[in-house]
A and B are shown apart, each in its own frame.
Chain A
Amino acid sequence: MTEKQNCILRIDNLIKIFDDAETEDTILKGLNLTVQRGEFMCILGPSGCGKTTFLRCIAGFEEFDGQIYVDGHKCSVPGTDRIMVFQDFNQLFPWKTVEQNIQYPLKLQGLRDKDELRRISEESLIKVKLQGYERYYPHQLSGGMKQRVAIAKALALKPALILMDEPFAALDAMTRSELQEEVLRISEQEGSTVIFVTHNIEEAITLGTRILVFQKGGQVVFDEKNPIKRPVTPLAENYGAIWEKLHRALHSEDGG
């Protein structure tokens, strides 16, 4: 019973076929999955395995066959209960300031109280350590800062699910590890449920409480809880072993 209540995402037989006039490409062939509340689920996989498409189906950006339930509700179109953080730095609206970017979705949800709006945007900016940047326009920010704002925007909405599609892949190594720490801290503090797509094994081990590996067609070849206690460092016990396992799962296609 508790198991069922805790289940925030259930996916039944998810099928996604891209068909242009000439080719028909099955990206996801019948995927089943459940995600528990508070889980930080990292999805690893080679390019073309369907991990991004999977995320986009959940977000409602793609049409698909099968069922997706979020908090027990069937989803097929985008909604504010599932907020996507993209890899592209340009996901903020350049015509709005940092503050407006965060407040705009809240206003759309009917929140009109100016003080409340300011309080929420300030609070979420503090969480991503960007207080003082309220009035900046996105083009005045660095890539890392833009991603922080995107995360703050997601947090302000308090969605059931935060979907992250390789959000740090285009950042330099230092900024990336900085942001990884922030995301880790925030997700623990907020108890958010995150699905995090990456192609980086270290990132998956560092962030995930649960790690999945996809192979072609959205086939789940690995699905285990991360045994390493946070904060994860390369020196932690089992780090080498789990890395080895994931690496093998990732390259299983080549071997077979």
Chain B
Amino acid sequence: MRKKEKKGFWIQIVFIALMLVVWETAARLRLFGPRSEIIFPPLEAIGRAFVLNFAKGYGGVSLWRYIGNSMKLLGEGLLIGIILALILSGACMVSVSFRRIYSLVIAVMDLLPGVAMLPVVIIIFGISPGVIVFLVVHSVLWPMSRNVLDGFLAVPRIYVEAGKNIGLRGISLLLGVYLPASVTYVISGLKVGWARAWRGLISAEMIFGIASCPGIGLYINQMRVNLNNAEMYATLLVIIIIGLIVQYGILVPIENRTVKKWGMSR
């Protein structure tokens, strides 16, 4: 088992190295047109831009501040989205009519790309970072609700009965049995929801840039407008790194401490 994991790890490393070689070769051979170096910079330029993003930034503002703003809005949105998903899915277990309605709402809303709703959202929320928070909530709420609801509905009857038997009712039953029993669903909802929220946040920031609360998406846009493509790729790298940190630094440990520890993997 250990050995296999180690081997898988090395295969991934080799793959990444290979992709970097391909990138560098394509950049050095200037495969992308007459001004290939502008739109497809070599790794060294991207590396330098990576450092410059943090050291110098744009207009005297380091990328750190952009990241900070984005993460703050993301955190707020995720928190609201997750709590709302739990409350609304919980309400579905109380009322069948509500469940019918909410399932429909999930099915409909999940199809709508957040950025397409920007004009409406702006009318409701005004021009404020609240719009971005709303879009993060929108991207996390529906997949999370769908998963949590599926999880609640799939809770084995025996847990529910055992819970009722020891005196759990209503909300205490929801928190004491339904929620922990559907933890696998909740976590997969978190994974999907987080990834969508992260992407949604950046695309929203790229379209709707608030200069007083500049985020990573705005930074990418500025780099793009100024044809600083190396800086832009370096920022994409930052996005990937943050994504990986969340995945392996937060989600995987949560999974290890719950699903894996409790022997509940699906």
Contact = CB atoms under 8 A, between A and B. Distances in A.
A contacts B: CB pair < 8 Å: yes
Interface of A: 59-61, 77-80, 82-84, 86, 88, 90-95, 104-105, 108-109, 137-140, 157
A86 B258 contact: no
B262 A95 contact: yes
B180 A93 contact: yes
A61 B166 contact: no
A93 B177 contact: yes
10 contacts: A79-B167, A80-B165, A83-B165, A86-B158, A86-B161, A88-B158, A91-B162, A104-B176, A105-B166, A137-B263
Contacts of B156: 90
A78 B181 contact: no
A210 to B, nearest CB: 24
A94 B262 CA distance: 6
A137 B159 contact: no
Interface string B228-241: 00000000000000
A137 B167 contact: no
Nearest to A86: B158
B262 A78 contact: no
A108 B166 CA distance: 8
A95 B162 contact: no
**Which 4 pairs, one residue from A and one from B, show the smallest C-beta to C-beta distance?**
A139-B263, A105-B166, A95-B180, A78-B164
A130 to B, nearest CB: 18
Contact of B264 (A77, A95, A109, A140): A95
B167 A105 contact: yes
B166 A104 contact: yes
Nearest to B160: A61
Contact of A109 (B158, B162, B165, B167): B167
B167 A80 contact: yes
B261 interface: yes
Contact of B166 (A60, A86, A157): A157
Given A60-B164, A95-B181, 16 more contacts: A77-B164, A78-B161, A83-B165, A90-B158, A91-B158, A93-B162, A93-B180, A94-B262, A94-B264, A95-B258, A95-B264, A104-B166, A109-B167, A138-B263, A139-B262, A139-B263
Contacts of A105: 166-167
Main secondary structure of the interface of A (DSSP, over half): loop
Contacts of A91: 158-159, 162
A84 B264 contact: no
Contacts of B162: 84, 86, 91-93
Interface string B171-198: 0100011001101000000000000000
Contacts of A140: 263
B168 interface: yes
Residues of B in contact with A, size category? 20 to 34
Q: Which of A93, A108, A138, A157 has the most CB of B within 10 A?
A: A93
A78 B258 CA distance: 29
A137 B158 contact: no
Contacts of A83: 165-166
A10 B263 CA distance: 41
A79 B165 CA distance: 5
B6 to A, nearest CB: 26
A92 B167 CA distance: 15
Contacts of A108: 166-168, 172
Nearest to B164: A78
Contact of A80 (B166, B177, B180, B183): B166
A95 B262 CA distance: 5
Contacts of B183: 95
Contacts of A88: 158
A121 to B, nearest CB: 14
A167 to B, nearest CB: 13
Nearest to A84: B165
B164 A137 contact: no
Contacts of A90: 156, 158-159
B32 to A, nearest CB: 53
Nearest to B161: A61
Contact of B161 (A80, A84, A157): A84
B40 to A, nearest CB: 50
A91 B177 CA distance: 12
Given A95-B183, A137-B261, A59 B165 contact: yes
A78 B158 CA distance: 13
A90 to B, nearest CB: 6
A123 B118 CA distance: 62
Contacts of B168: 108
B180 to A, nearest CB: 4
Nearest to A153: B166
Nearest to B263: A139
Nearest to B162: A91
A88 B159 CA distance: 10
Contacts of B167: 78-80, 105, 108-109
